[in-house]
Amino acid sequence: MEIIAFCGSPRKNGNTDLLLKETIRGIEDAGFPVKMFRLNVMKIKPCQNCGGCEETGKCIVEDDMDQIFDAIRSADRIILASPIFFFALSAQTKAMIDRCQSFWCEKYLLKRPIQGGRLGRKGLLLLVGGMKKEIGIQCAEASAKAFFRTISVPEHSVLYYLGIDEKGAILRHPTALKEAYKAGKKLVS
Ligand SMILES: Cc1cc2nc3c(=O)[nH]c(=O)nc-3n(C[C@H](O)[C@H](O)[C@H](O)COP(=O)(O)O)c2cc1C
């Protein structure tokens, strides 16, 4: 089973990173390796809306998205993890998602289905917000859902935690890490 994970937080060992690592630990304990992409350290130019993908379904910008496009095509499980920034996904996460417009063109303009993986695709969305306002989760979830459906992930689960602000505060949450570990195991069961 091919499993990929996107970490959209710039903070290494921050709350999103810790939550994602625990999810990955659950998956690895179930016997599967996970390829993690740290979006913050990758060269990902924001989508230019240049129309370059409209006739081919291929993005013409050459940068680190090339490896992500390939990984998405062959993945059976996809995890998207992001902090909430200004009531939305982080810019790092959103830049990667916007570049998947090439998949959208391939699927909806060119009517070429994006293959759903050998085992049927599933997704997992992990979100962490410092405030206790649901609106950030709702906005982030809407974008993440559009991303998942565009790349032919027909179903995904969501784990989110609010009121987690200071770096590492997720470690003091009574259930978050356990839930993340369990969600990892469940994703590959
Ligand atoms: C630029 C910026 C914007 C933020 N906006 C929000 C927000 O709108 N809602 C919220 O709940 N938290 C917001 N936060 C707080 C982060 O979501 C919180 O600190 C989170 O724990 C960061 O996760 P990380 O440690 O994985 O980076 C913001 C933080 C930053 C740096």
CA-nearest residue for atom 15, ligand 1, is 130
Percent of the chain with pLDDT strictly greater than 90: 96
> To test the ligand 1 pocket, which listed residue (85, 87, 138, 159) has its Cβ within 8 A of the most ligand atoms?
85
CA-nearest residue for atom 22, ligand 1, is 83
- Per residue, the 3-state secondary structure of the chain, as one string, reads CCEEEEECCCCCCCHHHHHHHHHHHHHHHCCCCCEEEEHHHCCCCCCCCCCCCCCCCCCCCCCCHHHHHHHHHHCCEEEEEEEEECCEECHHHHHHHHHCHHHHHHHHHCCCCCCCCCCCCEEEEEEECCCCCHHHHHHHHHHHHHHHHHCCCCCEEEEEECCCCCCCHHHHCCCHHHHHHHHHHHHCC
The pTM for the full model equals: 0.98
pLDDT at 129: 98
Question: Mind listing the pLDDT tens digit for each residue in 26-78?
Answer: 999 999 999 999 999 999 999 999 999 999 999 999 999 999 999 999 999 99
